[in-house]
A and B are shown apart, each in its own frame.
Chain A
Amino acid sequence: MVDEDRHAGVAVAGVGPWRLALRRLRANRVALAFGALFAVLVALALAAPLWGDLAGTSPSRNHLSDTIVIDGQRRDVVTEDRVPIGPTWRAKYFLGADGNGRDVAVRLLYGARNSLFIGLTATLISLLLAVTLGLLAGYLRGWVDAVVSRGLDVVWAFPVLLLGIALGVALARDGLQIGPLSISGGSKWIPALIIGVVGAVYLARPLRGLVLSLREQDFVEAARAQGAGPLRIMVGELLPNLASTVLVFVPLLVANAILLEGALSFLGAGVRPPDPSWGTMIGDGVDLLTSAPHLTIVPGVMLVLTVLALNVLGDGVRDALDPRATVRPER
């Protein structure tokens, strides 16, 4: 009874919103499990070079005319019909080879690095752009709001994939040159930038709406009365209040970015060969769908698992940060 009072009364009264959110998240076992799954995928991606050393190859090394001994039998890595070897469940060709005799497991892990790099980088770009635009449009209103909102409308009007393909193809050849910023056509920064810009639209709009409502709150009025300028109010008062909304969006943005990267790479407008990504791996496997289904299934499963993990984790984060959720004190 004493313990219950201590927990129920003192704990709830003295816990901040972030700690409360963390507590709610910890109570969500499903979200935690999928969060752990995502962590495992990240760890696997980081371990790609180790697996490459173990398999004795690199993600781009072709082994078209090589042979391998399995159960005492010498077999072609790729037959003359271009049918690659399937999973061997050994270090070499653990998940089989692709049509060019490249080790699928090695490519899968390096592909994970690329997909995650692009997913995370694109999300950071989206956040940076969306928060800036949302704050400016929502707080300053007037012509700034009009310009930003119409700009977002224009980008919004394009189908995301089509816009991504158009930008991807256009920038693939000569890269991007804006002042001192120079990115070569084959760089992974190109798809990251494209996806980041496209993704920013989806976050900037709700953030603008939120800022519009926050700017009328008393604490903003108080800051203004104390002589705080627009920049200080935006950064010091409004930005911290956007944090929970932004945090809810992060896993979902990463998941969307990875999916979009997969789609763009599948269509040849994302990661450039011979760099692997799950999308390019699926694209390469389509022509051999019947004879070597592992080429599409394996990266497809990885893509699904990653996106699923991020979405469930994202749901958990949203539930945890939602102030309408019921607080259950620890027992």
Chain B
Amino acid sequence: MHWTLRGLAGALVASMVVGLAACGGREKNKSGEISVAVSSFPDSLDPALAVTAEALQSLWVVYTPLLTYAHAEGAAGARIVPGLARALPRISADGTTYRLKLRKGIEYSDGRPVKASDFEHAVKRILNLESVGTPYFERIAGAGAYLRSGKARGDISGIETDDSTGAITISLDEPYGPFSNVLAMTFGALVPSDTPFENQTKRPPAGIGAYKLANVRVNRGYDLVKAPGFDIADTPKAQLDTIAVEVVKNRGRQTQSVTRNDLDYMTDPPAPDQIRSVRDRFEGKRYREFVTNSTYFFFLNHRLAPFNNKAVRQAVNYALDERALVRVFGGLLEPGCNFLPPGLAGYEKIEPCTYGDPNAPPDLARARELVKQAGAEGEQVTVYGTGEPEAKGATEYFADVLSQIGLKGSPRIIPSANYYATIGNRRTRAQAGFANYFQDFARATAFFSIVDGASISDTNSTNFGNVDDPQIDATLARADRNPSAEAVSKDYAAVDRRLLEEAHLVPYGNRKLSVFFSDRIDFDDCTAWHPVYNLDYTSLCLK
């Protein structure tokens, strides 16, 4: 009996030890399927065409270009690293020739080998499809002649490729420092050479990335499925099996679904009237906010009264209350007076702000005095804005500010779909209005392109305020020849200061975005925020 009891006790202890060991040693299954809600279907799922943040967030992990951005948070994520290329390009001394070599043995998600000549095909698609990326790739020598020839299968003389060695040589018409950034845009991601010269959103071409696109239902959703064969050094693989992206137009519904764990992630911030409760309940546990590389500002048309007068432009800067605008954005705005966002080479915080502390009341008395001195009292100003809640609120606020300083401001709200085409049309004669800019690529050049005199045009102008400052243009022309943004960061900082000193526009902050997850997502270890592409889908995993 004694032995029997001892034996039983021993067996019990042994089984407990084995059981505990088994529990402790079992790997947590971090893969699986998650559901993601987007408010609208991406503008395109074709890498040659996609331009919106919704699209690029997905395409970045599906189509790896020759160069790409490091999968890292903060400033480190803005660093260009080799993608499909073995190394960063060798750039000729005159800055016009870029030499790269393709990694060996890489395959598309459908198993076909990747060829160096596929790059030229990708560029031809950009040019033929009149992609938003066309101006960037038109800098390649022969791109203009190729377009003029009208032959889709013609040759671009500035691109030389060798499929046997994987060598790619790109010649530019003239040096363009940010060209490495251009090569890191998803526009230039390699696609198979038989990909048609038409929008492939319905049947996206095979790519090389941690995920591949599947089950595309236009205007309804699509899946990102783990690409098992993807293996590129220093580029993370997918941790999840499937990310099912679904269009749910109502942000309120998205918020409720994530709150109830019926949905795993929403790409937009929670609905305005639910932000407070989400913050209160989930901040730091399932919800986090990030400052994006974006700039929010009001443009002032230099070619029209009263903003052709510097004193009036300064008055407006003095009168703006950034604290008010933070409220308009429901707290999702980082107030500031720089035009450049933090995290880019060239950003030097302007302190103290030229026109007063963004966190203090504005100087309305001084603003009124300047308007009076300029003889602009009573001048009618139409302020343009879109119907999006934040943009509409900001536009109405700004129009009221103008009225408070002696002008007569009245808002004009335009549907979002036509907004930028409307204010970018010279015939609209937009005096002032709401505008924002999210970077096309991580270099100050992208931001300054909208205040460069060269970007003024009669239609589809991106320089809404017709800013044409010879000093700025000359500085940018010089800086943009240098491939290293760090080397010319002082030039960029000088342009940033000049914009404010001359009151060329009214910058007021950088947009914050948020991530809000269900309880299933490993919030602490698997939710990396990328400065260019927002949430990094390769970082996501389950608890």
Contact = CB atoms under 8 A, between A and B. Distances in A.
Contacts of B214: none
B272 A65 contact: no
Contacts of B325: 64
Contacts of B415: 169, 268
B392 interface: yes
Among A61, A186, A291, the one with the most B-chain Cβ atoms within 10 Å of its Cβ is A291
Nearest to A82: B330
B273 A65 contact: no
Interface of A: 60-62, 64-65, 78-83, 99-101, 169, 185-186, 268, 272-274, 287-292
Given A80-B326, A82-B331, A287-B271, 13 more contacts: A60-B396, A62-B401, A64-B321, A65-B323, A78-B327, A99-B272, A99-B328, A100-B393, A268-B387, A272-B412, A273-B413, A274-B411, A288-B273
A197 to B, nearest CB: 23
A100 B328 contact: yes
Contacts of A292: 273
B275 interface: yes
B324 A65 contact: yes
Chain A at the B interface: SS class = loop
Contact of A64 (B274, B279, B328, B413): B328
Contacts of A83: 273, 276
B182 interface: no
Contacts of B361: 65
A137 to B, nearest CB: 38
Shortest beta-carbon contacts, A-B, top 9 = A64-B324, A291-B273, A82-B330, A81-B276, A290-B273, A65-B323, A80-B331, A62-B400, A288-B273
Interface string B324-359: 111111110000000000000000000000000000
B412 A64 contact: no
A99 B329 CA distance: 10
Interface string B401-415: 101000000111101
B391 to A, nearest CB: 12
A310 B379 CA distance: 41
Contacts of B272: 82, 99, 287-288, 291
A64 B327 contact: yes
Contacts of B378: none
B411 A291 contact: no
Contacts of A290: 252, 273-274
Most A CB contacts (10 A, CB to CB) among B273, B361, B401 go to B273
Contacts of A169: 415
Nearest to A76: B327
Contacts of B276: 79, 81, 83, 291
Nearest to B321: A65
B397 interface: yes
B400 A82 contact: no
B392 A289 contact: no
A287 B396 contact: no
B331 A81 contact: yes
Contact of B330 (A81, A100, A289): A81
A274 B396 contact: yes
Point out which of A101, A273, A290 has the most chain B C-beta atoms below 10 A from its C-beta. Answer: A273
A289 B273 CA distance: 7
Interface in B273-331: 273-276, 279, 321, 323-331
Given A65-B361, A81-B330, A82-B330, A268 B324 contact: no
Nearest to A78: B327
B188 to A, nearest CB: 38
Contacts of B389: 99, 287
B328 A81 contact: no
A186 B414 CA distance: 12
* Among B252, B323, B328, B400: residue with most chain A CB under 10 A: B400
B399 interface: yes
Contacts of B279: 81
Contacts of B411: 272-274
Contacts of B323: 64-65
Nearest to A285: B273
B448 to A, nearest CB: 30
A273 B392 contact: yes
A280 to B, nearest CB: 10
A97 to B, nearest CB: 11
B434 to A, nearest CB: 13
A104 B361 CA distance: 24
Contacts of A268: 387, 413, 415
A272 B413 contact: yes
Interface string B487-519: 000000000000000000000000000000000
A268 B418 CA distance: 15
28 contacts: A60-B399, A60-B403, A62-B324, A64-B325, A64-B397, A65-B321, A65-B327, A65-B361, A80-B326, A81-B275, A82-B328, A82-B329, A82-B331, A83-B276, A99-B328, A99-B389, A99-B393, A100-B393, A100-B400, A101-B324, A101-B327, A272-B411, A273-B392, A273-B396, A274-B396, A274-B399, A274-B400, A290-B274
A288 B389 CA distance: 10
Contacts of B331: 80-82
B410 A62 contact: no
A82 B327 contact: yes
Contacts of B321: 64-65
Given A83-B276, A292-B273, A61 B400 contact: yes
B19 to A, nearest CB: 48
